[in-house]
A and B are shown apart, each in its own frame.
Chain A
Amino acid sequence: MTVVTPFEGIGASVKRKEDLRFLSGRGRYTDDINRPGQAYAHILRSPHAHAAIRGIDLAAARAMPGVVAVFTGADMVGLGGLPCGWQIHNKDGSPMAEPPHPVLAQGKVRFVGDAVAVVIASTRAAARDAAEAIEVEYEVLPAVATMEAALAPGAPAVHDGVAGNLCYDWHIGDPAVNAAAFQGAHKVVEFELVNNRLVPNAMEPRAAIGDFDPTTGDYTLYTTSQNPHVIRLLMGAFVLQLPEHKLRVVAPDVGGGFGSKIFHYAEEAIVTWAAGKIARPVKWTADRSESFITDAHGRDHVTKARLALDAEGRFLALHVQTLANMGAYLSTFSTSVPTYLYATLLAGVYTTPTVYAEVKAVFTNTVPVDAYRGAGRPEATFLLERLVDVAAREMGMDRIEIRRRNFIPNDAFPYQTPVALQYDSGDYVATLEEALKVADWAGFEQRRQAAKAAGKLRGIGISTYLEACGIAPSAVVGALGARAGLYEVGTIRVHPTGSVTVLTGTHSHGQGHETTLAQLVTDRLGVPLAQVDIVHGDTAKIPFGMGTYGSRSLAVGGSAMVKAMDKIVAKARRIAAHLMEASVEDVEFDRGTFRVAGTDKTKSWGEICLTAYVPHNYPIEEIEPGLDETAFYDPKNFTYPGGCHICEIEIDPDTCQVAVVNFTAVDDVGRVINPMIVEGQVQGGVAQGIGQALLETAVYDENGQLLSASFMDYQMPRANDLPPVSVATHTTLCTHNPLGVKGCGEVGAIGSPPAVINAVVDALRDYDVRHIEMPATPAKIWGIIHAGQRLAAE
Chain B
Amino acid sequence: MYDFAYHKPTTVADAVKILSADPEARPISGGQTLLPALKHRLNKPTAVVDLSGIAELKGIRREGDRLVIGALAKHGEVANSPEVKAAIPALAQMASTIGDTQVRNRGTIGGSVSNNDPAADYPAAVLGLDATVVTDKRRIAADDFFQGMFTTALEPGELLVAIEFPIPEKAGYAKMRNPASRYVMAGVFVARTKSGTRVVVNGAGPGVFRQAEMETALAANWSADAVAGVKQSPDGLNGDIHGSAEYRAHLVTVMAKRAVANAG
Contacts and interface: CB of A to CB of B under 8 A. Distances in A.
B254 A712 contact: no
Nearest to B119: A712
B21 interface: no
Contacts of B176: 655, 657, 778
Interface stretch (B10-18, B90-98, B236-244): B236-244
B1 A777 contact: no
Contacts of A783: 247
B243 A712 contact: no
B181 A711 contact: yes
Size class of the contact patch on chain B? 10 to 19
Given A713-B241, A777-B242, A779-B244, A654 B254 contact: yes
B180 A715 contact: yes
B251 interface: yes
A779 B242 contact: yes
Interface in A103-141: 125, 128-129, 132
Contacts of B40: 289
Nearest to A128: B41
Contacts of B64: none
Nearest to A715: B180
Nearest to A652: B254
B250 A711 contact: no
B119 to A, nearest CB: 10
B180 A699 contact: no
B69 to A, nearest CB: 28
Contacts of A129: 2
Contacts of A132: 41
Given A289-B40, A655-B251, A655-B254, A708 B241 contact: yes
A695 B179 contact: yes
Nearest to A783: B247
B257 to A, nearest CB: 8
B244 A714 contact: no
A246 interface: no
B179 A778 contact: yes
Nearest to B185: A778
A707 interface: yes
A715 B242 CA distance: 10
A707 B240 CA distance: 10
Nearest to A708: B241
A777 B254 contact: no
A319 B181 CA distance: 40
Contacts of B251: 655
A756 to B, nearest CB: 15
A85 B1 CA distance: 39
Interface in B209-264: 241-244, 247, 250-251, 254, 257
A654 to B, nearest CB: 5
B1 A125 contact: yes
Contacts of A191: none
Interface string B178-218: 01110100000000000000000000000000000000000
A699 B1 contact: no
Contacts of B243: 777-779, 782
Nearest to B3: A125
B242 A712 contact: no
Interface of A: 125, 128-129, 132, 289, 654-655, 657, 695, 699, 707-708, 711-715, 777-779, 782-783, 786
Given A707-B241, A777-B179, A778-B243, 17 more contacts: A125-B1, A132-B41, A654-B254, A654-B257, A655-B251, A655-B254, A695-B179, A695-B180, A699-B241, A712-B181, A713-B241, A713-B242, A778-B179, A779-B242, A782-B243, A782-B247, A782-B250
5 contacts: A654-B257, A655-B251, A707-B241, A715-B179, A779-B247
- 6 A-B pairs closest in CB distance: A779-B243, A715-B180, A712-B181, A654-B254, A779-B247, A715-B179
